[in-house]
């Protein structure tokens, strides 16, 4: 239960911080790729949704089958951090 709540908090902060990707273009020159910044935001948000849905389904299946449920929130946290970091790298290359 604690891990699930931690993942929800992580997902909230990742969602908010991914929305701030757009602010990276404030001091942008004319050669910035705004499409890549938008794609990075959508990619991060999609990763969050996929991670939460996968964790929910995984926890439900594990509970029904009597398996380990703690694996799914950990996997969701890793997926959220990974997709958010990929979004940061894409924004960094698009703006620089």
% of the chain at pLDDT higher than 90? 72
Q: Give dist(CA 40, CA 37) in Å, integer.
A: 5
Q: Is the pLDDT of residue 30 over 80?
A: no
End-to-end Cα spacing for the chain: 41
**SS3 (DSSP) at 33:** coil
Q: Tell me the pLDDT band of 40, cut-offs 50, 70 and 90.
A: very high
- Please give the model's pTM, rounded to 2 decimal places: 0.89
């Amino acid at each position: 239960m604690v891990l699930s709540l931690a993942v929800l908090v992580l997902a909230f902060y990742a969602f908010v911080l991914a929305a701030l990707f757009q602010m990276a273009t404030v001091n942008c020159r004319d050669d910035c790729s705004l499409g890549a910044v938008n794609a990075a935001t959508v990619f991060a948000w999609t990763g969050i949704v996929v991670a939460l849905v996968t964790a929910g389904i995984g926890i439900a299946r594990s509970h029904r089958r009597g398996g380990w449920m703690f694996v799914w929130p950990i996997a969701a946290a890793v997926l959220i951090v990974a997709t958010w970091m990929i979004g940061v790298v894409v924004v960094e290359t698009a703006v620089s």
